[in-house]
Amino acid sequence: MIRHAIYTLAVLSAAPAMATPGGAMGTAAQGRWTCELPGDATMPPTPQPDHDFSIVPDSSYVVGGERGTYLLLGNTFTMTSGPFSGRRFDKVGLSLIRLGPDGKREALRCVRAGSVRDDFSANTP
């Protein structure tokens, strides 16, 4: 009986680790990201430059020369430190849609607009 219990414990402890609760960890495409409010058939999107940022190496982003970090779990992109700390987005295809405090999608969307060299190297001390 004890042998059976030891065998069962050994098998259970050798089981593979479970997936991260929020989904697989990932990274966003590096480069400049511009944010805008959607337009319609009669009006183009409205740029929101105060929300623009650049994704740089090491799961980091830069805004106005200040660096922060982000976490991408599944489709949830969260800015975890830095000037935009606490902002959350839903990753939909190649876009990021801002999430409100209630977790619901807001109108603001951000899309990759250029390479890292276009922005990051010019703003880094």
Domains in the chain with CATH codes: 21-123 (2.40.128)
d(CA 99, CA 30): 21
Burial 73-107, CB ≥16 within 10 A → b, else e:
eeeebbbeebebeebbbbbeeeebbbbeeeeeeee
Q: Please say if the pLDDT value at position 5 is more than 80.
A: no
Q: Please say if the pLDDT value at position 29 is more than 90.
A: yes
Q: What is the pTM of this model?
A: 0.76
**pLDDT tens across 80-118, in order?**
999 999 999 999 999 999 999 999 999 999 999 987 665
Which pLDDT value is given to residue 93?
Answer: 94
Burial 23-60, CB ≥16 within 10 A → b, else e:
eeeeebebbbbbbbeeeeeeeeeeebeebbbbbbeebb
User: Confidence band (pLDDT; 50, 70, 90) for 71?
Assistant: very high
- C-alpha 43, offset from chain centre: 28
